[in-house]
Amino acid sequence: MANDISLQTATVKAMLVRDAGGKSIPSIQSLLKYDKYIYGLLGLAFFVFLWWFANSTGVLNPKFLSPPQTVLMTLIAGVLPDGDIWPEIWPSLGRGLEGFAIALALGILGGIFVGSFTLLEKVLAPILLFFRNLSILALFPVFLLFFGIGEESKIAIVAWASFWPIFISTTSAVKGVERILINAARTLGAERPYIFAHVVLPAAVPNIFPGIRLAASYAFTALVAAEYLGATEGLGIYIRASQERFEIPSMYAGILVLGLIGVAINLVLTGVEQRVTRWQLGITSR
């Protein structure tokens, strides 16, 4: 199928060369600009169709997998201001973003610090290696012990989970900053704090961002797990409670909301990344 489409594209382009004054052809041409979205929509439509098809033919048991239209209706009803999902979104989003923000600040600061001092890195290496590879689930009881079963422990768990990718990518990004840029700043009279904030950080940002995006997804994974542990409100507990009450469409609606939050955060982060790394256009293959 892909072959057919590229063939068509080639034909359209060839026709354009011959007949630049054509009327209907430029509109196809202008559509080609949005090919990424068009193909994406096609893929999405195909996925929903499969979902619906599997349901209506009974290949998958509708009791376990609700049909897409039912899930969508439950979702819409749920996220209306008086719906039952709406009040669950904000506690989760709040915890997730708070934990993520803490991880962002500590991860970048700590990463710049550890990445800048080789000795410090050597001293800390074994400890860091131990903790970064430790399962977050194993640490849950520890967090409960320290922070109780309230909000703090959940935020701490999210912060812990998203700290590591940010910290690790920052450490290596800082080590990758060209020495000559730091030397240039020093000869201009800059002291350490200025160099960290105005040379090391901007030079490292493009390589920190993959870690930040990974951290955002870790944050919400950890959040749901933390909410399963015990919470009175939040999407994690909503999904689990729906399943226990056997309100399966609600369960899927909750999962869908969580997934959409993930997509939205990723879009926001990609936008921010493009803004702060715009200067790299033309230097790298971005």
Partner 1 sequence: MTELVTGLTKSATGNAYKLYAGDLGKTFRHISHGAGTAATEVLKGFNLAIQEGEFVALLGPSGCGKSTFLNIIAGLEDFNEGRLLLDGAAVRGVSKTVGVVFQSYALFPWLSVQKNVEAGLRIRGVPARERHEIASRVLRMVGLEGFTQHLPHRLSGGMRQRVAIARALAYDPEVLVLDEPFAALDAQTREFLQNELLRIWETVGRKKTILFVTHSIDEAIFLADRIAVMTKRPGKIKSVIDVNLSRPRDDTARATAEYGRIRREVAAILQEEVELGK
Using CB under 8 A as the criterion, which residues of the chain lie in contact with partner 1 when the complex forms? 180-181, 183-190, 194, 199, 202-203, 279-280, 282-283
Tokens for 108?
Answer: 């970048």
Q: Report d(CA 198, CA 191) in Å as an integer.
A: 11
Task: Tell me how far, at minimum, the Cβ of 188 lies from partner 1, in Å.
Answer: 4
Task: Tell me how far, at minimum, the Cβ of 181 lies from partner 1, in Å.
Answer: 6
Task: Tell me how far, at minimum, the Cβ of 275 lies from partner 1, in Å.
Answer: 12
Task: Tell me how far, at minimum, the Cβ of 198 lies from partner 1, in Å.
Answer: 8
**Nearer residue to partner 1 within complex by CB, 202 or 262:** 202
Dihedral angle over CA of 50, 54, 59, 61, nearest 10: 130
Tokens for 221?
Answer: 């994974």
Task: Tell me how far, at minimum, the Cβ of 128 lies from partner 1, in Å.
Answer: 24
**Nearer residue to partner 1 within complex by CB, 197 or 260:** 197
Task: Tell me how far, at minimum, the Cβ of 285 lies from partner 1, in Å.
Answer: 13
HEC states along 175-198? Answer: HCCCHHHHHHHHHCCCCHHHHHHH
**Nearer residue to partner 1 within complex by CB, 58 or 189:** 189
**Nearer residue to partner 1 within complex by CB, 81 or 282:** 282
Task: Tell me how far, at minimum, the Cβ of 283 lies from partner 1, in Å.
Answer: 5
**Nearer residue to partner 1 within complex by CB, 69 or 280:** 280
**Nearer residue to partner 1 within complex by CB, 77 or 190:** 190
The CB-side HSE value for 10 (13 A sphere, CA atoms) comes to 6
* Amino acid sitting at position 56: S
**Nearer residue to partner 1 within complex by CB, 184 or 268:** 184
Task: Tell me how far, at minimum, the Cβ of 186 lies from partner 1, in Å.
Answer: 5
Radius of gyration of the chain (CA): 25
Residue 281's CB: how many other CB atoms inside 10 A? 9
**Nearer residue to partner 1 within complex by CB, 8 or 183:** 183
